Structure 1
Amino acid sequence: MSRSRLAAGKLVFSRKSRLCAQTHSRVGSEEQLPNATEFIADLARSVGFLSRLPVPDRFFRGHNGTISRAVRAFPVAGLIIAIVPALVLLLLQSGDPLLVSLIALALLTLVTGALHEDGLADTADGLGGGRDKDHALLIMKDSRIGAYGAVALVLSFGLRASALSALFRDDAVTAALAVLAVAAVSRAILVAHWRALPSARENGVAAGAGFPEDGARNIALFSGAAIALVLLVPVLGLPKVLLSLILAALAGFGFTRFVRQKLGGHTGDTIGATQQLSEIAMLATLALAA
Protein backbone atom coordinates (compact mmCIF):
# COMPACT_ATOMS: atom_id res chain seq x y z
CA MET A 1 0.00 0.00 0.00
CA SER A 2 1.39 3.30 -1.04
CA ARG A 3 1.06 6.89 -2.06
CA SER A 4 -0.54 8.23 -5.24
CA ARG A 5 1.14 7.48 -8.54
CA LEU A 6 0.61 10.27 -11.06
CA ALA A 7 1.05 9.09 -14.63
CA ALA A 8 0.71 5.35 -14.14
CA GLY A 9 -2.16 5.65 -11.72
CA LYS A 10 -0.54 3.37 -9.14
CA LEU A 11 -2.84 4.22 -6.27
CA VAL A 12 -2.53 2.60 -2.87
CA PHE A 13 -4.64 3.35 0.20
CA SER A 14 -4.74 7.09 -0.56
CA ARG A 15 -7.30 6.67 -3.33
CA LYS A 16 -10.36 6.13 -1.18
CA SER A 17 -8.93 8.07 1.75
CA ARG A 18 -8.99 11.17 -0.41
CA LEU A 19 -12.52 10.36 -1.55
CA CYS A 20 -13.67 10.06 2.05
CA ALA A 21 -12.03 13.32 3.01
CA GLN A 22 -13.44 15.18 0.01
CA THR A 23 -16.91 13.83 0.65
CA HIS A 24 -16.66 14.78 4.30
CA SER A 25 -15.72 18.32 3.39
CA ARG A 26 -18.81 18.58 1.19
CA VAL A 27 -21.34 17.01 3.52
CA GLY A 28 -19.63 16.91 6.91
CA SER A 29 -22.66 18.39 8.64
CA GLU A 30 -25.05 15.76 7.31
CA GLU A 31 -26.37 12.97 9.46
CA GLN A 32 -24.82 9.55 9.54
CA LEU A 33 -25.87 6.89 7.10
CA PRO A 34 -29.61 6.32 7.01
CA ASN A 35 -30.98 2.80 6.83
CA ALA A 36 -27.63 1.05 7.24
CA THR A 37 -26.02 -0.76 10.12
CA GLU A 38 -22.60 0.36 11.27
CA PHE A 39 -20.97 -2.81 10.01
CA ILE A 40 -22.54 -2.54 6.57
CA ALA A 41 -21.28 1.03 6.39
CA ASP A 42 -17.80 -0.12 7.42
CA LEU A 43 -17.95 -2.91 4.86
CA ALA A 44 -18.93 -0.53 2.07
CA ARG A 45 -16.13 1.85 2.99
CA SER A 46 -13.67 -1.03 3.17
CA VAL A 47 -14.64 -2.27 -0.28
CA GLY A 48 -14.25 1.24 -1.65
CA PHE A 49 -10.96 1.69 0.16
CA LEU A 50 -9.42 -1.60 -0.97
CA SER A 51 -10.69 -1.76 -4.54
CA ARG A 52 -11.99 0.08 -7.55
CA LEU A 53 -15.45 -1.36 -7.15
CA PRO A 54 -18.09 1.40 -7.12
CA VAL A 55 -19.55 2.22 -3.71
CA PRO A 56 -22.60 4.50 -3.28
CA ASP A 57 -21.66 7.97 -2.11
CA ARG A 58 -24.12 7.78 0.79
CA PHE A 59 -21.75 5.50 2.69
CA PHE A 60 -19.22 8.34 2.91
CA ARG A 61 -21.59 11.08 4.04
CA GLY A 62 -20.56 12.53 7.36
CA HIS A 63 -17.46 10.36 7.41
CA ASN A 64 -14.14 11.94 8.37
CA GLY A 65 -11.99 9.84 6.06
CA THR A 66 -10.39 7.58 8.68
CA ILE A 67 -10.93 3.83 8.77
CA SER A 68 -9.81 3.02 12.30
CA ARG A 69 -12.98 1.04 12.95
CA ALA A 70 -13.81 0.08 9.38
CA VAL A 71 -10.78 -2.22 9.15
CA ARG A 72 -12.81 -4.80 11.06
CA ALA A 73 -14.64 -5.40 7.76
CA PHE A 74 -11.49 -5.87 5.67
CA PRO A 75 -11.71 -9.70 5.55
CA VAL A 76 -15.32 -9.62 4.34
CA ALA A 77 -14.35 -6.90 1.87
CA GLY A 78 -11.58 -9.17 0.62
CA LEU A 79 -14.13 -11.92 0.15
CA ILE A 80 -16.28 -9.62 -1.98
CA ILE A 81 -13.30 -8.40 -4.00
CA ALA A 82 -12.31 -11.99 -4.83
CA ILE A 83 -15.75 -13.16 -5.99
CA VAL A 84 -15.21 -12.45 -9.70
CA PRO A 85 -11.79 -14.17 -9.88
CA ALA A 86 -13.25 -17.15 -8.02
CA LEU A 87 -16.13 -17.37 -10.50
CA VAL A 88 -13.66 -17.28 -13.38
CA LEU A 89 -11.92 -20.34 -11.95
CA LEU A 90 -15.24 -22.16 -11.86
CA LEU A 91 -16.35 -21.08 -15.32
CA LEU A 92 -13.04 -21.97 -16.97
CA GLN A 93 -12.40 -25.21 -15.12
CA SER A 94 -11.81 -27.06 -18.39
CA GLY A 95 -8.99 -24.69 -19.35
CA ASP A 96 -5.25 -24.89 -18.80
CA PRO A 97 -4.62 -24.58 -15.03
CA LEU A 98 -1.75 -22.10 -15.23
CA LEU A 99 -3.45 -19.89 -17.81
CA VAL A 100 -6.74 -19.81 -15.90
CA SER A 101 -4.90 -19.06 -12.66
CA LEU A 102 -3.08 -16.14 -14.28
CA ILE A 103 -6.37 -14.80 -15.63
CA ALA A 104 -7.90 -14.98 -12.16
CA LEU A 105 -4.92 -13.16 -10.62
CA ALA A 106 -5.02 -10.55 -13.38
CA LEU A 107 -8.68 -9.89 -12.64
CA LEU A 108 -7.97 -9.64 -8.92
CA THR A 109 -5.21 -7.13 -9.63
CA LEU A 110 -7.54 -5.16 -11.90
CA VAL A 111 -10.26 -5.03 -9.25
CA THR A 112 -7.84 -3.75 -6.60
CA GLY A 113 -5.98 -1.43 -8.94
CA ALA A 114 -2.74 -3.29 -8.11
CA LEU A 115 -3.16 -1.88 -4.61
CA HIS A 116 -1.07 -4.40 -2.74
CA GLU A 117 1.30 -5.27 -5.58
CA ASP A 118 2.39 -1.64 -5.70
CA GLY A 119 3.18 -1.73 -2.00
CA LEU A 120 5.15 -4.94 -2.40
CA ALA A 121 7.27 -3.49 -5.20
CA ASP A 122 7.98 -0.25 -3.36
CA THR A 123 8.81 -2.08 -0.14
CA ALA A 124 11.20 -4.42 -1.94
CA ASP A 125 12.96 -1.47 -3.56
CA GLY A 126 13.19 0.45 -0.29
CA LEU A 127 14.26 -2.37 1.99
CA GLY A 128 16.48 -3.93 -0.63
CA GLY A 129 18.27 -0.79 -1.76
CA GLY A 130 18.05 1.53 1.23
CA ARG A 131 21.21 2.19 3.23
CA ASP A 132 19.24 3.26 6.29
CA LYS A 133 15.69 4.16 7.31
CA ASP A 134 15.63 7.58 5.68
CA HIS A 135 17.14 6.31 2.45
CA ALA A 136 14.71 3.39 2.35
CA LEU A 137 11.71 5.69 2.85
CA LEU A 138 13.03 8.00 0.14
CA ILE A 139 13.31 5.12 -2.32
CA MET A 140 9.80 3.97 -1.43
CA LYS A 141 8.46 7.40 -2.36
CA ASP A 142 9.97 7.16 -5.84
CA SER A 143 7.32 6.33 -8.44
CA ARG A 144 9.81 4.36 -10.54
CA ILE A 145 10.16 0.64 -10.02
CA GLY A 146 13.63 -0.76 -9.37
CA ALA A 147 15.25 -4.15 -9.74
CA TYR A 148 14.15 -5.37 -6.30
CA GLY A 149 10.57 -4.31 -6.96
CA ALA A 150 10.49 -5.99 -10.36
CA VAL A 151 11.84 -9.23 -8.95
CA ALA A 152 9.34 -9.11 -6.09
CA LEU A 153 6.41 -8.71 -8.49
CA VAL A 154 7.60 -11.54 -10.73
CA LEU A 155 8.00 -13.82 -7.73
CA SER A 156 4.63 -12.79 -6.31
CA PHE A 157 2.69 -13.54 -9.48
CA GLY A 158 4.76 -16.61 -10.25
CA LEU A 159 4.37 -18.21 -6.83
CA ARG A 160 0.68 -17.40 -6.54
CA ALA A 161 -0.09 -18.59 -10.06
CA SER A 162 1.85 -21.82 -9.53
CA ALA A 163 0.12 -22.53 -6.23
CA LEU A 164 -3.32 -21.68 -7.56
CA SER A 165 -2.81 -23.78 -10.68
CA ALA A 166 -1.80 -26.76 -8.53
CA LEU A 167 -5.04 -26.42 -6.55
CA PHE A 168 -7.01 -25.86 -9.77
CA ARG A 169 -5.52 -28.97 -11.36
CA ASP A 170 -6.86 -31.09 -8.51
CA ASP A 171 -10.24 -29.38 -8.20
CA ALA A 172 -11.51 -26.07 -9.57
CA VAL A 173 -13.96 -25.68 -6.68
CA THR A 174 -11.15 -25.96 -4.14
CA ALA A 175 -9.12 -23.38 -6.05
CA ALA A 176 -12.05 -20.97 -6.14
CA LEU A 177 -12.70 -21.38 -2.43
CA ALA A 178 -8.99 -20.88 -1.74
CA VAL A 179 -9.00 -17.57 -3.61
CA LEU A 180 -11.90 -16.36 -1.46
CA ALA A 181 -10.39 -17.58 1.81
CA VAL A 182 -6.92 -16.23 1.12
CA ALA A 183 -8.33 -12.84 0.13
CA ALA A 184 -10.05 -12.64 3.52
CA VAL A 185 -7.15 -13.91 5.63
CA SER A 186 -4.46 -11.78 4.00
CA ARG A 187 -6.48 -8.62 4.57
CA ALA A 188 -6.94 -9.56 8.21
CA ILE A 189 -3.19 -10.01 8.61
CA LEU A 190 -2.46 -6.63 7.03
CA VAL A 191 -4.65 -5.06 9.73
CA ALA A 192 -2.51 -6.78 12.38
CA HIS A 193 0.66 -5.40 10.78
CA TRP A 194 -0.87 -1.94 10.61
CA ARG A 195 -1.88 -2.06 14.28
CA ALA A 196 1.40 -3.53 15.54
CA LEU A 197 3.64 -0.72 14.30
CA PRO A 198 3.61 3.06 14.57
CA SER A 199 3.66 5.08 11.39
CA ALA A 200 7.12 5.46 9.89
CA ARG A 201 6.04 8.77 8.34
CA GLU A 202 4.02 11.36 10.23
CA ASN A 203 2.40 12.57 7.01
CA GLY A 204 2.13 9.20 5.30
CA VAL A 205 -0.97 7.85 3.61
CA ALA A 206 -1.48 5.12 6.22
CA ALA A 207 -1.12 7.67 9.03
CA GLY A 208 -3.74 9.87 7.40
CA ALA A 209 -6.16 6.95 7.18
CA GLY A 210 -6.08 6.47 10.94
CA PHE A 211 -4.83 3.76 13.28
CA PRO A 212 -6.76 0.48 13.65
CA GLU A 213 -8.61 0.07 16.92
CA ASP A 214 -7.74 -2.98 19.03
CA GLY A 215 -11.29 -4.26 18.82
CA ALA A 216 -11.40 -3.77 15.06
CA ARG A 217 -8.15 -5.69 14.65
CA ASN A 218 -9.43 -8.56 16.78
CA ILE A 219 -12.66 -8.77 14.79
CA ALA A 220 -10.70 -8.75 11.54
CA LEU A 221 -8.42 -11.57 12.67
CA PHE A 222 -11.31 -13.66 13.99
CA SER A 223 -13.49 -13.16 10.92
CA GLY A 224 -10.61 -13.85 8.53
CA ALA A 225 -9.83 -17.15 10.23
CA ALA A 226 -13.51 -18.05 10.46
CA ILE A 227 -14.06 -17.43 6.75
CA ALA A 228 -11.11 -19.65 5.87
CA LEU A 229 -12.28 -22.45 8.15
CA VAL A 230 -15.84 -22.37 6.84
CA LEU A 231 -14.78 -22.34 3.19
CA LEU A 232 -11.82 -24.69 3.19
CA VAL A 233 -12.27 -27.29 5.93
CA PRO A 234 -15.03 -29.15 4.00
CA VAL A 235 -12.75 -29.60 0.97
CA LEU A 236 -9.26 -29.80 2.48
CA GLY A 237 -9.74 -30.85 6.09
CA LEU A 238 -8.96 -29.04 9.33
CA PRO A 239 -5.23 -29.89 9.70
CA LYS A 240 -4.26 -28.48 6.28
CA VAL A 241 -6.31 -25.34 6.74
CA LEU A 242 -4.91 -24.70 10.21
CA LEU A 243 -1.38 -25.18 8.89
CA SER A 244 -2.00 -22.66 6.12
CA LEU A 245 -3.39 -20.14 8.61
CA ILE A 246 -0.42 -20.58 10.92
CA LEU A 247 2.12 -20.10 8.13
CA ALA A 248 0.28 -17.08 6.75
CA ALA A 249 0.29 -15.55 10.23
CA LEU A 250 3.98 -16.36 10.67
CA ALA A 251 4.77 -14.69 7.35
CA GLY A 252 2.95 -11.57 8.48
CA PHE A 253 4.51 -11.63 11.95
CA GLY A 254 8.01 -12.21 10.65
CA PHE A 255 7.70 -9.42 8.11
CA THR A 256 6.35 -7.08 10.78
CA ARG A 257 9.40 -7.74 12.96
CA PHE A 258 11.69 -7.15 10.00
CA VAL A 259 9.99 -3.85 9.15
CA ARG A 260 10.20 -2.75 12.78
CA GLN A 261 13.95 -3.29 12.72
CA LYS A 262 14.49 -1.59 9.36
CA LEU A 263 12.00 1.29 9.40
CA GLY A 264 10.75 1.51 12.96
CA GLY A 265 7.16 1.62 11.75
CA HIS A 266 4.73 0.84 8.96
CA THR A 267 4.00 2.68 5.75
CA GLY A 268 1.23 2.21 3.23
CA ASP A 269 3.73 0.21 1.20
CA THR A 270 4.58 -2.23 3.99
CA ILE A 271 0.89 -2.78 4.68
CA GLY A 272 0.40 -3.81 1.07
CA ALA A 273 3.49 -5.99 1.14
CA THR A 274 2.13 -7.77 4.22
CA GLN A 275 -1.00 -8.69 2.30
CA GLN A 276 1.04 -10.09 -0.57
CA LEU A 277 3.41 -12.10 1.59
CA SER A 278 0.65 -13.66 3.68
CA GLU A 279 -1.32 -14.48 0.52
CA ILE A 280 1.70 -16.17 -1.02
CA ALA A 281 2.39 -18.13 2.17
CA MET A 282 -1.17 -19.36 2.53
CA LEU A 283 -1.68 -20.28 -1.13
CA ALA A 284 1.65 -22.10 -1.27
CA THR A 285 0.88 -24.04 1.90
CA LEU A 286 -2.54 -25.06 0.63
CA ALA A 287 -1.06 -26.19 -2.68
CA LEU A 288 1.75 -28.19 -1.10
CA ALA A 289 -0.50 -29.76 1.53
CA ALA A 290 -3.44 -30.55 -0.76
Structure 2
Amino acid sequence: MSAAFKELPLDLARSLGFLSRLPVPARYFEGHDGSMGRTARAFPLAGLVIAAPSAALLGLLPHRPETALLLALLALGLSTLLSGALHEDGLADSADGLFGGRDREHALTIMKDSRIGAYGVIALILSFGLRTAALAALLASAAPLLAPLTLLAAASLSRAFMVWHWQTLSPARPGGTAAAVGQPSIASRNLALVMGAALALLLSRLTPAPPLAVLVAFAVSAFAALLFARKVRRTIGGHTGDTIGATQQITETAFLCALAVVL
Protein backbone atom coordinates (compact mmCIF):
# COMPACT_ATOMS: atom_id res chain seq x y z
CA MET A 1 0.00 0.00 0.00
CA SER A 2 1.43 3.41 -0.97
CA ALA A 3 2.10 6.08 1.62
CA ALA A 4 -0.73 8.19 0.18
CA PHE A 5 -3.31 5.49 0.84
CA LYS A 6 -1.87 4.73 4.26
CA GLU A 7 -2.72 8.31 5.19
CA LEU A 8 -6.31 8.07 3.93
CA PRO A 9 -7.67 7.34 7.47
CA LEU A 10 -5.91 10.51 8.65
CA ASP A 11 -7.52 12.48 5.84
CA LEU A 12 -10.88 10.96 6.72
CA ALA A 13 -10.58 12.09 10.34
CA ARG A 14 -9.64 15.61 9.27
CA SER A 15 -12.48 15.66 6.73
CA LEU A 16 -14.96 14.72 9.44
CA GLY A 17 -13.60 17.52 11.61
CA PHE A 18 -14.08 19.94 8.72
CA LEU A 19 -17.49 18.75 7.49
CA SER A 20 -19.31 17.70 10.64
CA ARG A 21 -19.89 18.13 14.35
CA LEU A 22 -18.71 14.61 15.06
CA PRO A 23 -15.99 14.51 17.74
CA VAL A 24 -12.54 13.94 16.27
CA PRO A 25 -9.51 13.48 18.59
CA ALA A 26 -7.13 16.44 18.61
CA ARG A 27 -4.16 14.23 17.75
CA TYR A 28 -5.34 14.05 14.13
CA PHE A 29 -4.76 17.79 13.76
CA GLU A 30 -1.39 18.06 15.50
CA GLY A 31 1.13 19.62 13.15
CA HIS A 32 -1.50 20.15 10.45
CA ASP A 33 -1.52 23.57 8.79
CA GLY A 34 -5.21 23.34 7.87
CA SER A 35 -4.58 22.83 4.17
CA MET A 36 -7.24 20.81 2.35
CA GLY A 37 -5.17 20.10 -0.77
CA ARG A 38 -4.93 16.40 0.00
CA THR A 39 -7.49 16.01 2.78
CA ALA A 40 -10.47 16.74 0.51
CA ARG A 41 -9.99 13.43 -1.29
CA ALA A 42 -11.62 11.75 1.72
CA PHE A 43 -14.82 13.81 1.52
CA PRO A 44 -16.84 10.95 -0.07
CA LEU A 45 -15.87 8.66 2.81
CA ALA A 46 -16.76 11.39 5.29
CA GLY A 47 -20.15 11.63 3.62
CA LEU A 48 -20.74 7.96 4.29
CA VAL A 49 -19.89 8.36 7.98
CA ILE A 50 -22.08 11.44 8.40
CA ALA A 51 -25.06 9.79 6.68
CA ALA A 52 -24.65 6.39 8.35
CA PRO A 53 -26.83 7.13 11.42
CA SER A 54 -29.62 8.46 9.20
CA ALA A 55 -29.37 5.43 6.93
CA ALA A 56 -29.52 3.16 10.00
CA LEU A 57 -32.64 4.99 11.16
CA LEU A 58 -34.32 4.40 7.79
CA GLY A 59 -33.25 0.77 7.66
CA LEU A 60 -33.98 -0.30 11.22
CA LEU A 61 -37.17 1.50 12.18
CA PRO A 62 -40.41 -0.12 11.03
CA HIS A 63 -42.25 1.99 8.53
CA ARG A 64 -45.59 2.09 6.79
CA PRO A 65 -46.70 4.19 3.81
CA GLU A 66 -48.36 6.67 6.14
CA THR A 67 -45.14 7.19 8.16
CA ALA A 68 -42.70 7.35 5.23
CA LEU A 69 -42.64 11.16 5.15
CA LEU A 70 -42.06 11.34 8.89
CA LEU A 71 -39.14 8.90 8.81
CA ALA A 72 -37.59 10.62 5.80
CA LEU A 73 -37.72 14.01 7.50
CA LEU A 74 -36.29 12.57 10.74
CA ALA A 75 -33.40 11.05 8.78
CA LEU A 76 -32.61 14.35 7.05
CA GLY A 77 -32.91 16.20 10.34
CA LEU A 78 -30.38 13.86 11.91
CA SER A 79 -27.93 14.33 9.03
CA THR A 80 -28.32 18.10 9.32
CA LEU A 81 -27.64 17.92 13.04
CA LEU A 82 -24.47 15.87 12.53
CA SER A 83 -23.17 18.20 9.81
CA GLY A 84 -24.00 21.30 11.83
CA ALA A 85 -26.17 22.52 8.92
CA LEU A 86 -22.91 23.45 7.20
CA HIS A 87 -24.14 22.69 3.69
CA GLU A 88 -27.62 24.06 4.28
CA ASP A 89 -26.09 27.36 5.37
CA GLY A 90 -24.04 27.44 2.18
CA LEU A 91 -27.12 26.74 0.07
CA ALA A 92 -29.12 29.55 1.68
CA ASP A 93 -26.31 32.10 1.40
CA SER A 94 -25.58 31.10 -2.20
CA ALA A 95 -29.22 31.41 -3.21
CA ASP A 96 -29.49 34.87 -1.66
CA GLY A 97 -26.28 36.11 -3.28
CA LEU A 98 -26.48 34.49 -6.70
CA PHE A 99 -30.11 35.40 -7.31
CA GLY A 100 -30.45 38.56 -5.24
CA GLY A 101 -27.21 40.37 -6.06
CA ARG A 102 -27.16 43.23 -8.56
CA ASP A 103 -23.57 42.52 -9.55
CA ARG A 104 -20.56 40.48 -8.43
CA GLU A 105 -19.61 42.63 -5.46
CA HIS A 106 -23.20 42.95 -4.27
CA ALA A 107 -23.67 39.18 -4.53
CA LEU A 108 -20.52 38.52 -2.49
CA THR A 109 -21.61 41.06 0.12
CA ILE A 110 -24.98 39.35 0.47
CA MET A 111 -23.32 35.95 0.83
CA LYS A 112 -21.20 37.22 3.74
CA ASP A 113 -24.28 38.54 5.53
CA SER A 114 -25.46 36.12 8.25
CA ARG A 115 -29.07 37.12 7.71
CA ILE A 116 -31.22 34.99 5.41
CA GLY A 117 -33.37 36.37 2.61
CA ALA A 118 -36.30 35.14 0.56
CA TYR A 119 -34.17 33.21 -1.92
CA GLY A 120 -32.37 31.43 0.91
CA VAL A 121 -35.61 30.46 2.61
CA ILE A 122 -37.07 29.14 -0.64
CA ALA A 123 -33.89 27.17 -1.37
CA LEU A 124 -33.97 25.48 2.05
CA ILE A 125 -37.67 24.65 1.74
CA LEU A 126 -37.09 23.10 -1.68
CA SER A 127 -34.00 21.21 -0.51
CA PHE A 128 -35.68 19.63 2.50
CA GLY A 129 -39.00 19.18 0.72
CA LEU A 130 -37.62 17.50 -2.39
CA ARG A 131 -35.23 15.23 -0.49
CA THR A 132 -37.91 14.25 2.02
CA ALA A 133 -40.39 13.44 -0.74
CA ALA A 134 -37.78 11.44 -2.68
CA LEU A 135 -36.74 9.41 0.37
CA ALA A 136 -40.38 8.80 1.27
CA ALA A 137 -41.02 7.48 -2.24
CA LEU A 138 -38.03 5.15 -1.94
CA LEU A 139 -39.21 4.00 1.49
CA ALA A 140 -42.58 3.10 -0.02
CA SER A 141 -40.93 0.58 -2.34
CA ALA A 142 -40.90 -3.11 -1.55
CA ALA A 143 -37.12 -3.14 -1.06
CA PRO A 144 -36.32 -2.36 2.61
CA LEU A 145 -32.70 -1.33 1.95
CA LEU A 146 -33.38 0.89 -1.07
CA ALA A 147 -33.87 4.16 0.82
CA PRO A 148 -31.01 3.83 3.34
CA LEU A 149 -28.45 2.68 0.77
CA THR A 150 -29.52 5.37 -1.68
CA LEU A 151 -29.08 7.98 1.05
CA LEU A 152 -25.53 6.74 1.65
CA ALA A 153 -24.81 6.79 -2.08
CA ALA A 154 -26.12 10.35 -2.42
CA ALA A 155 -24.14 11.53 0.61
CA SER A 156 -20.90 10.13 -0.79
CA LEU A 157 -21.38 11.28 -4.38
CA SER A 158 -22.51 14.79 -3.45
CA ARG A 159 -19.38 15.36 -1.38
CA ALA A 160 -17.24 14.21 -4.31
CA PHE A 161 -18.92 16.92 -6.39
CA MET A 162 -18.01 19.40 -3.65
CA VAL A 163 -14.34 18.64 -4.27
CA TRP A 164 -14.85 18.95 -8.03
CA HIS A 165 -16.51 22.37 -7.64
CA TRP A 166 -13.79 23.53 -5.24
CA GLN A 167 -10.93 22.45 -7.51
CA THR A 168 -12.47 23.48 -10.83
CA LEU A 169 -13.28 27.10 -9.95
CA SER A 170 -10.82 29.66 -8.65
CA PRO A 171 -11.58 31.47 -5.38
CA ALA A 172 -14.02 34.35 -5.75
CA ARG A 173 -12.58 36.00 -2.63
CA PRO A 174 -8.78 35.70 -2.20
CA GLY A 175 -9.19 36.27 1.54
CA GLY A 176 -12.21 34.00 1.98
CA THR A 177 -12.48 30.88 4.11
CA ALA A 178 -12.23 28.49 1.17
CA ALA A 179 -9.13 30.27 -0.15
CA ALA A 180 -7.53 30.28 3.31
CA VAL A 181 -7.47 26.47 3.53
CA GLY A 182 -6.15 26.05 0.02
CA GLN A 183 -7.59 24.26 -2.96
CA PRO A 184 -7.80 20.50 -3.52
CA SER A 185 -5.15 19.16 -5.85
CA ILE A 186 -6.09 17.61 -9.17
CA ALA A 187 -5.13 14.21 -7.79
CA SER A 188 -7.44 14.72 -4.78
CA ARG A 189 -10.27 15.81 -7.06
CA ASN A 190 -9.86 12.80 -9.32
CA LEU A 191 -9.68 10.35 -6.43
CA ALA A 192 -12.72 11.92 -4.77
CA LEU A 193 -14.75 11.63 -7.97
CA VAL A 194 -13.70 8.03 -8.57
CA MET A 195 -14.35 7.15 -4.94
CA GLY A 196 -17.74 8.89 -4.85
CA ALA A 197 -18.90 7.30 -8.09
CA ALA A 198 -17.63 3.85 -7.11
CA LEU A 199 -19.26 3.97 -3.67
CA ALA A 200 -22.53 5.24 -5.13
CA LEU A 201 -22.61 2.51 -7.76
CA LEU A 202 -21.60 -0.19 -5.24
CA LEU A 203 -24.21 0.81 -2.71
CA SER A 204 -26.83 1.12 -5.41
CA ARG A 205 -25.96 -2.33 -6.75
CA LEU A 206 -26.85 -3.79 -3.35
CA THR A 207 -30.46 -2.75 -3.97
CA PRO A 208 -32.91 -3.88 -6.66
CA ALA A 209 -32.55 -0.51 -8.42
CA PRO A 210 -31.81 -1.16 -12.13
CA PRO A 211 -28.30 -0.10 -13.21
CA LEU A 212 -29.79 2.20 -15.84
CA ALA A 213 -31.81 4.04 -13.19
CA VAL A 214 -28.68 4.55 -11.09
CA LEU A 215 -26.76 5.84 -14.11
CA VAL A 216 -29.55 8.27 -14.94
CA ALA A 217 -29.51 9.58 -11.35
CA PHE A 218 -25.74 9.90 -11.52
CA ALA A 219 -25.96 11.82 -14.81
CA VAL A 220 -28.64 14.16 -13.48
CA SER A 221 -26.55 14.87 -10.39
CA ALA A 222 -23.45 15.60 -12.49
CA PHE A 223 -25.45 17.85 -14.81
CA ALA A 224 -26.78 19.78 -11.80
CA ALA A 225 -23.20 20.27 -10.58
CA LEU A 226 -22.15 21.58 -14.00
CA LEU A 227 -25.07 23.99 -14.27
CA PHE A 228 -24.50 25.35 -10.79
CA ALA A 229 -20.75 25.80 -11.37
CA ARG A 230 -21.54 27.70 -14.57
CA LYS A 231 -23.95 29.98 -12.70
CA VAL A 232 -21.36 30.59 -9.97
CA ARG A 233 -18.60 31.37 -12.47
CA ARG A 234 -20.74 33.79 -14.45
CA THR A 235 -22.13 35.58 -11.37
CA ILE A 236 -19.21 35.88 -8.93
CA GLY A 237 -16.25 34.56 -10.91
CA GLY A 238 -15.29 31.66 -8.67
CA HIS A 239 -16.12 29.51 -5.69
CA THR A 240 -16.69 30.43 -2.06
CA GLY A 241 -17.24 28.25 0.99
CA ASP A 242 -20.95 28.82 0.50
CA THR A 243 -21.02 27.61 -3.11
CA ILE A 244 -19.01 24.52 -2.16
CA GLY A 245 -21.62 23.65 0.47
CA ALA A 246 -24.47 24.46 -1.91
CA THR A 247 -23.00 22.01 -4.43
CA GLN A 248 -23.47 19.22 -1.91
CA GLN A 249 -27.12 20.09 -1.33
CA ILE A 250 -27.93 20.52 -5.02
CA THR A 251 -26.30 17.30 -6.19
CA GLU A 252 -27.68 15.20 -3.34
CA THR A 253 -31.18 16.50 -4.06
CA ALA A 254 -30.74 15.83 -7.78
CA PHE A 255 -29.55 12.25 -7.20
CA LEU A 256 -32.35 11.35 -4.79
CA CYS A 257 -35.09 12.95 -6.87
CA ALA A 258 -33.90 11.46 -10.16
CA LEU A 259 -33.73 7.95 -8.73
CA ALA A 260 -37.14 8.26 -7.09
CA VAL A 261 -38.68 9.43 -10.37
CA VAL A 262 -37.15 6.84 -12.70
CA LEU A 263 -37.78 3.81 -10.48
Measure, in 1, the Cα distance between the counterparts of 2:14 and 2:163: 15
CA RMSD of aligned residues (A): 1.1
Residue identity opposite 2:177 in structure 1: V
* Residue 251 (str. 1) matches residue 242 (str. 2): no
TM-score (normalizing by structure 2): 0.95
Equivalents in 2 of 1:47, 1:172: separation in Å? 28
Tell me which residue corresponds to 1:202. Answer: 174
Structure 1: stretches of 5+ with no match in the other structure: 1-35
1:131 aligns to 2:98 (yes or no) = no
Kept in 1, the 8 Å contact 2:38–2:188? The answer is yes
Counterpart check, 1:68 vs 2:37 = yes
- Alignment partner, residue 110 of structure 1: 81
Contact kept in structure 1, 2:47 and 2:159, CA below 8 Å: yes
Q: CA deviation at 1:48?
A: 1.0
| Partners of 1:188 and 1:221 within 8 A in 2 | yes
Identity %: 55
Matches within 5 A, 1:17-28: none
Q: Read off the aligned partner of 1:125 and give its amino acid letter.
A: D
- Which of 30, 39, 52 is the equivalent residue of 2:21? 52
Give the TM-score taking structure 1 as reference length. 0.86
Q: Does structure 1 residue 228 correspond to structure 2 residue 200? A: yes
Give the alignment of 1:117-266 within 5 angstroms: 117-170=88-141, 171-235=143-207, 236-266=209-239
Q: Which structure 1 residue ranges, 4+ long, deviate > 6 Å from structure 2?
A: none
> Which whole-Å CA distance do the structure 2 matches of 1:128 and 1:257 have between them?
14
Distance in 2 between residues matched to 1:123 and 1:200, nearest whole Å = 13
Are 1:94 and 2:66 counterparts? no
Per-residue CA distance 1:108-133 (angstroms, 9 max, x = gap): 00000001000000001001110000
Candidates 3, 25, 48, aligned match of 1:79: 48
- Determine if contact 1:93/1:172 at 8 Å carries over to the other structure: no
Instruction: Look up the SS of the partner of 2:206 in the other structure.
Output: helix
Which amino acid in the other structure matches residue 81 of structure 2? L
- Aligned-pair distance for 1:226? 0.3
| Cα deviation digits, residues 215-257 of structure 1 (max 9, x gap) | 0000000000000111102321211111111110110011101
CA contact (8 A) 1:89 1:104 kept: yes
Q: Is the 8 A contact 2:63 2:71 kept in 1?
A: no
| SS of residue in 2 equivalent to 1:66 | coil
Whichever residue aligns with residue 120 of structure 1, its letter is L
Structure 2 counterpart of 1:286, one-letter code: L
The letter of the residue matching 1:147 is A
1:281 equivalent in alignment to 2:254: yes
Which amino acid in structure 2 is aligned with residue 215 of structure 1? A
Aligned counterparts of 2:261 and 2:63: Cα–Cα separation in 1: 22
Unpaired runs of at least 5, structure 2: none
Aligned partners of 1:90, 1:189: CA distance in 2, in Å? 26
Q: Which moved more, 1:168-177 or 1:181-190?
A: 168-177
Q: Which range moved further: 153-162 or 234-243? A: 234-243
For the residue of structure 2 that corresponds to 1:188, the secondary structure is helix
